[in-house]
Structure 1
Amino acid sequence: MPRFAANLTMLFTEMPLPARFAAAAEAGFTGAEVLFPYDTAAPELARACKAAGLDFVLLNAPPPNWAGGPRGFAAIPGLEERFRRDFERSLRVARALQARHIHIMAGKADGDDAMETFVANLSWAAERAPHASLTIEPMNLQDNPGYFLHDFDTAIEVLDRIGAPNLGLQFDSYHAQRITGDGLAAWRRLAPYVRHVQIGRSGDRHEPVGGDFDHPAFFEALDDHGYKGWVSAEYVPERNTEAGLGWLNAG
């Protein structure tokens, strides 16, 4: 079975963020990810993660702009300097947390200029942080209208053009199923590019049980391929986190 990490932005939200690490470990997770760990001091989160015996798996870049600005802009022409400045901050936080991956968000854009901006920014980031593992993730347009990276063909084109050894694909079962209609087939095609996996039930992003994506079969496919990375539970619990962890205990 895969190594499972808890997305602590979505799970155990009834308690403060630092306390969620211990709760995740007690529930049986061995890793944790936090999408935007910028509002709590990194040393405090690092201590909580270490005390719980968890690996810190992933964070998102850039830090969020809660004042109405873009929450991702790697593909937005004209914001290159902003991208670089905020990537530097994300890199400092990732180092403090010993995060395994940094997910670089493309933002809302379209067209050839956006593509070239995305490639240029990712090339710069991969060269700037050669020892960091960077990921990009296609997101479905139903939930993320206008998001530049909304299909896997574009993601593979970008990865092939850049060819950086520290840049790979983030595969989310929820988005893959919504984008392609057959997430399992998408995994089989894309597996060589994948650095990190996230899971959530297609349709409602609840626990990875039921729905039109067979998660047990997916876990077997990960094992069959020899995938050694993390699988992060990135979903909104239907009731509370503990009540919905049967899928994890069954594994």
Structure 2
Amino acid sequence: MTKENQRAIVVGASRGIGLGLARELLNQHWSVIATIRDTSQVPADLNQLLSEHPDKLELAELDLSHEQTANSIISKYPEHSIDLLLVSAGISGPEHQRVEHCTPNEISNLFWVNSIAPVTIARKFLPLMKVNSVIAFMSSRMGSIALNDDGSMELYRASKAALNSITRGFAQNEAIPAQIGVLNLHPGWVQTEMGGSHAPVTVKESTTGIVRVIEGFLGKTEQQFIDFQGNEMAW
């Protein structure tokens, strides 16, 4: 199959890494369904991308706080028609990042967006995925317990560790038996609104690497935790 016949869903494509991934997939001749929370308010950079790729890029509305918004995408595409589901949405959580300072609402919001909603959406989209396709979750080195050498950002770390844990069950029990590979991705410390302007990795460097990793993983029915340069990460 050529890339021209491959279709990806990028969840959280309004800005940052999600937008960069949509752009890089289009550059590699994929067709892309880019989801944002509100299609009546399309960011300028995404609008520009639409004008550059009118035949390959389409927008779809998907709010991770309201999973039923995925139903319009599910109803539009037949089963086994998607080669890649890439869930990129995420938040850093409260500025204080301390368990003793957090409120139930702060924890609920952080873990819902970073840990629960990505797997919930993946389960809803599972019937759309082809055999030998890939479901990729945007994790982080900070989700690794083994690599936690300074204890910083403890709430964010916990939410990404939870994502890794929950996706493990999803991979073993649902995706891999359906011959779908699962990737947990570390994008690097990237120059985004979350990562800050002093981060050492550009969005282009990160997303180019991630797409290369994904394309090399197509057809593998296993789960890996891997960074944008292709290095396996310790769980």
Question: TM exceeds 0.5?
Answer: no
TM-score when normalising by structure 2? 0.41
TM-score when normalising by structure 1? 0.39
